Amino acid sequence: MTEPLPHGLYESVLDATLERRLATMLDLETDIASVDSAEHSHVLTRHLASAVRQRLVSEKDPARKLELANTILQFVRDASPRVEPPLRQLQAVRRPAGPGEIVRYGNRPKTPLNDASLLTNAHGEPSLASELKAEIDSADTVDLLCAFVMWRGLRLLEEPLRQAAAVGVPIRVITTTYIGGTEREALDRLVRDFGAGGQVVAPVGGEDPLVVFGRGLMLVEAMTDRWGSEHDPGGTTVWFSIDLAPHDVA
């Protein structure tokens, strides 16, 4: 029996197997959109990369794995289900809106789900606030790591945080008392109304609370499971790792 797709946002190329799965999900809404011709190469490359990786991972014999890799390099053959034109992507699976229900996965980020993005509110970039709202709408967990939490910033995210908390999405906050910027009222609201957990990192010892450097590693220490540093002639590299639950691993 075919397993139903979890509710959420997607960037999955619509192939024959996916179309058959969607055909059995009669009680759910789906969003399917054509892929812009300028994005064809990028989308198909990602789709093929996933198919190739799955095939290579399934091959346990190192010699056979290398033979497969060389065959693919010599002549790319798509062994996965055919993709029929026009090229389209599944973009969401969700329940239809019902009376009094919170509908999620309807607010899609402008940045691709499969790519990392650095947003600086520069001209021509998506608004940071709008992207955060869209990301929270589809998040399984919300981890907020910031130098300080202020009421006016929290107000921008109140509604998506409220909806996330209402459907049981865990919210975690790691912040500091840096220059007294974190406002108690904002923290109280996160905990009281949105069920947020987390940690406030305060200066230790006789550290000057007005110093404008030196808190980066305090945040790393609070947020990660392990971290360290490595020195070489080019400078110092700080590394860290975070243990993820099985469902968090793509």
Q: How many CA atoms lie within 13 A of 7 on its CB side?
A: 15
Every domain of the chain and the residues it spans: 1-96, 126-250
Q: What is the pLDDT of residues 189-242, one digit of tens each?
A: 888 888 888 766 665 555 555 444 455 666 677 777 777 777 777 777 777 777
Task: Give the Å distances, CA to CA, from 149 to 129, 139, 141, 168, 171.
Answer: 14, 20, 19, 22, 14
The predicted model scores a pTM of 0.56
Q: What is the pLDDT of residues 15-49, one digit of tens each?
A: 988 988 898 888 888 999 999 888 898 888 888 88
Q: Count other C-beta atoms under 10 Å from residue 70's C-beta.
A: 9
pLDDT of residue 161: 93
Q: What is the pLDDT of residues 128-168, one digit of tens each?
A: 889 999 999 989 999 888 888 888 889 999 999 999 999 99
Pick the CATH number of 126-250 from 2.40.128, 3.30.460, 1.10.3470, 3.40.50: 3.40.50
